[in-house]
Chains A and B, each alone.
Chain A
């Protein structure tokens, strides 16, 4: 069983990296980019039967720093 964890900065938390990417896109001539926020994608290969609760605990204890980040879990049952 596979799962993907998306870790993103909470709204309102300054994202210097996203800002730099935004500027670089503008520098390349891409118009119409209103904002850029950078996050992380973590792919987990898990034993069958790993519960949602287990994955959430992994996120809270390590994968995300919930002071500044949110996380979203996507299970890929057939992958």
Chain B
């Protein structure tokens, strides 16, 4: 798997995802700067990392979604290349229009930073094929703007089409229908607030995130 991690000014989980990808795939990902206009040839997986791109100015992910590299990410996503956006990466994907809805300030207004239980809703996607449907997994969350909102029609469509990938078991941030992660209509773009890349080794306190990348590796490679 030839993966690329997009680095924005203010990204701070770019190294976490790079380490996770290297551990699982055995290959260092290319670190691609946001001002670049092209991805390395043969890129077959793209990760938009967590962090606080542009200091969350205007809206979380708003500036990053309009940066030069995003045109290449959009083209790759349209060709079917798998794209994952974690935390700030999820915010960037919604701001870029690659995923529906928006991520607003947490309902409790507090930054939440703790491992949370999640239900795997869809185990058929590229990203979730390493899990059982209905299984509970634990990933850490660390965000201030993770309150997923969309209009009722969009939420119904996401549910009906099996595009809710992960759902919080507890009320973490006020997200509509406790949605933690969603897929695009073709299933090759996943955005989620929790951090699977921070649940890779036992020292992280859990390894539930590892299967996301292992499943992806099996499907892509």
- Chain A residues with a Cβ under 8 A of chain B: 13-14, 16-17, 20, 61-63, 65, 67-68
Q: Which of B62, B100, B147, B150 contacts A16 (CB 8 A)?
A: B147
**Chain A residue nearest in CB terms to B95:** A65
Whether a CB of chain A sits under 8 angstroms from the CB of B174 is yes
- Number of residues from B at the complex interface, CB < 8 A: 19
With A16-B147, A16-B174: A65-B106 Cβ-Cβ less than 8 Å: no
Contact check, A63 vs B109: say whether CB atoms are below 8 A apart: no
Contact check, B149 vs A16: say whether CB atoms are below 8 A apart: no
Contact check, B106 vs A67: say whether CB atoms are below 8 A apart: no
**Chain A residue nearest in CB terms to B110:** A16
Q: 13 pairs across A/B with beta carbons < 8 Å?
A: A13-B104, A13-B149, A14-B149, A16-B109, A16-B174, A17-B105, A17-B109, A65-B59, A65-B102, A67-B94, A67-B101, A67-B102, A68-B149
Whether a CB of chain A sits under 8 angstroms from the CB of B66 is yes
Whether a CB of chain A sits under 8 angstroms from the CB of B58 is yes
Q: How far is the CB of B179 from chain A (nearest CB, A)?
A: 14
Contact check, A61 vs B109: say whether CB atoms are below 8 A apart: no
Contact check, A65 vs B107: say whether CB atoms are below 8 A apart: no
What A residues does B102 contact at CB under 8 A?
65, 67-68
Contact check, A63 vs B108: say whether CB atoms are below 8 A apart: no
What A residues does B107 contact at CB under 8 A?
14, 16
Which B57-82 residues have a C-beta within 8 angstroms of A?
58-59, 62, 66
Contact check, B104 vs A62: say whether CB atoms are below 8 A apart: no
Q: How far is the CB of A75 from chain B (nearest CB, A)?
A: 21
B132-164: contact bitstring with A at CB < 8 Å (1 yes, 0 no)?
A: 000000000000000101100000000000000
What B residues does A13 contact at CB under 8 A?
104, 149
What A residues does B94 contact at CB under 8 A?
67
Q: Which of B59, B66, B100, B149 contacts A61 (CB 8 A)?
A: B66
With A62-B62, A65-B102: A14-B174 Cβ-Cβ less than 8 Å: yes
Bound-complex Cα distance A68 to B100 (A): 11
**Given A62-B58, A68-B149, 13 extra CB contacts under 8 A:** A13-B149, A16-B106, A16-B107, A16-B109, A16-B147, A20-B109, A62-B62, A63-B58, A65-B62, A67-B100, A67-B150, A68-B102, A68-B104
What A residues does B100 contact at CB under 8 A?
67
Bound-complex Cα distance A67 to B104 (A): 11
